[in-house]
Structure 1
């Protein structure tokens, strides 16, 4: 009896839903479909010409850096006899053409490569990649105006910087020493800010530690304690607070 009841339910459901679906399909035919906007498919790598080159083996989902993407493409070209000297490579960063040798290709940005055959302009490969895992100081510290601090000591500046960039607290063991080394600080003449520089050069290989320069702005005021004042958090308190609430308050 139960089995018969289930069959009836299924049949009744089909009777209800099929006509409605059919009506929906028919309704799509009403009007001019030529005006319907359709986005272009997103293809990270496109190949025109280069008939013997196989790019299907490149797994774009496993590539996180620009140099890895370029290396994979060039390797595929070399396998069928193309030399790098025979190729022209154009690089675009956020839509602007840049010099591959003098551009930091490991910063957070949208990159596009256009590789063409110097001997045949019909041979072209385009490849795009978005970098979101930069270790450059300007990319990882989003807030650089750290408000009011009470002195110019490097540790005080670091605490202010961390307070406004709570997501970086877990990285403090990796970068804390550099952020408190006075040799890395260049103070403004009017003492309203400083520039922190850590290995500030354009990397030629994937960075494994934080690097670059970071300009900070702040106001320095003399701290006069009173019984009613709430003192600033210590680093330990900030780390603890960051694990419990989204926006810790002093």
Structure 2
């Protein structure tokens, strides 16, 4: 529960680099007994007379490995006695040799790349890639465990809770699932047989799997923006555990009319902030997916450009009537 509340209540996130140090106290043992791997050399050139690699910064976080190899380094070979296309290539990712496969240099991992003509002319590159937008690098925990239904918002929130790093790009990930956060797109109870996700969420109820398909299998470097768009496919598993509806729907209400500060005035951010302020209403998160699916949200700017009004309304049409919530409630919040 504390973990979930931390996720929901996150307003700002800080990433922290941690450096591990291996120390050895004098105990009469031999240094050779310590099973340490030699450090990877970030960038090393042997041979290739006449070429200047002094400006290459292999560890630049803004430099993708693909650009580093096939633009920056390849550019150094232009109009020289050496032909870049003649170089042999060896690639190891996460200690696995992937040389003979189709290599995606944007995937997360620790890379060791060797480009060479012979043993006297060798380029060695070591780089840690952490900026992958392959959907399988975003969704690393693929078993969603128990979910109440297979509606897209249910899958969305279950995936976020199992992969907490996604909270750093909450709106982007939510819009990948359901499109732009407009009332027309998000304010309706989405049934399991509704085709509203354009094939991105494919559900197999027989074997209880969900295929998340971005409909883009790879990148064209000259066209796509891999730092901004998801790509690839990942398969999730789940256990369907329908929930019993309450004897009476919960009346929408709040003890705090002001939600305070919200990072962005988007529907998903406001939903999350409202939930953290009203856990009893959502039965301490037991009705979380039902709340996201069964409740309308309309956000309206006020005369104060930083202040907004948010109205939550339970579905009440006969076909879409919520069995979990009833009524409506209005709150305010601020956002820059």
Relative to the length of structure 2, the TM-score reads 0.53
Match of 1:218 among 238, 243, 246: 238
Other-structure match for 1:88: 88
Q: Which moved more, 1:210-219 or 1:131-140?
A: 210-219
Structure 2 counterpart SS, 1:161: helix
Structure 2 gaps of 5+ residues are 1-25, 179-196, 251-266, 277-283, 286-336
Other-structure match for 1:66: 65
**Pair 83,188 (structure 1): closer, same or farther in 2 beyond 3 Å:** same
Separation of aligned partners in 2, 1:107 and 1:145: 21
Structure 2 counterpart SS, 1:61: coil
Separation of aligned partners in 2, 1:87 and 1:110: 22
8 Å contact 2:59–2:127 — kept in the other structure? no
Q: Which moved more, 1:136-145 or 1:220-229?
A: 220-229
Other-structure match for 1:78: 78
Structure 1 counterpart SS, 2:239: strand
Once the 2 structures are TM-superposed, how far is the Cα of residue 84 of structure 1 from its aligned partner?
Answer: 2.1
Separation of aligned partners in 2, 1:102 and 1:34: 40
Other-structure match for 2:53: 55
Other-structure match for 1:114: 114
Once the 2 structures are TM-superposed, how far is the Cα of residue 164 of structure 1 from its aligned partner?
Answer: 2.6
Other-structure match for 2:328: none
Other-structure match for 1:197: 213
Q: Which moved more, 1:166-175 or 1:206-215?
A: 166-175
Deviations 1:40-88 (A, max 9, x none): 5542111222122222211223254211221322222335432223322
8 Å contact 1:116–1:125 — kept in the other structure? yes
Taking the TM superposition and a 5 Å limit, the aligned residue runs for 1:19-30 are none
Match of 2:203 among 184, 187, 191: 187
1:128 and 2:144 are equivalent in the alignment: no
1:104 and 2:104 are equivalent in the alignment: yes
8 Å contact 1:179–1:196 — kept in the other structure? no
Q: Between Structure 1 and Structure 2, how many residues are aligned?
A: 211
Structure 1 gaps of 5+ residues are 1-27, 243-248
- Cα RMSD for the two superposed structures: 3.5
Other-structure match for 1:159: 157
Separation of aligned partners in 2, 1:237 and 1:141: 22
Q: Which moved more, 1:96-105 or 1:142-151?
A: 96-105
**Pair 141,86 (structure 1): closer, same or farther in 2 beyond 3 Å:** closer
8 Å contact 1:102–1:202 — kept in the other structure? no
**Pair 47,239 (structure 1): closer, same or farther in 2 beyond 3 Å:** farther
Once the 2 structures are TM-superposed, how far is the Cα of residue 146 of structure 1 from its aligned partner?
Answer: 1.9
Separation of aligned partners in 1, 2:84 and 2:109: 25
Structure 1 counterpart SS, 2:158: helix
8 Å contact 1:169–1:239 — kept in the other structure? no
Other-structure match for 2:292: none
**Pair 137,51 (structure 1): closer, same or farther in 2 beyond 3 Å:** same
Once the 2 structures are TM-superposed, how far is the Cα of residue 190 of structure 1 from its aligned partner?
Answer: 1.4
- Following superposition, which runs of at least 4 residues in structure 1 exceed 3 angstroms of deviation? 31-42, 227-230, 234-242
- When Rg is computed on C-alpha atoms for both structures, the one with the higher figure is 1
Other-structure match for 1:24: none
8 Å contact 1:197–1:213 — kept in the other structure? yes
Q: Which has the higher helix share?
A: 1
Q: Which moved more, 1:195-204 or 1:183-192?
A: 183-192
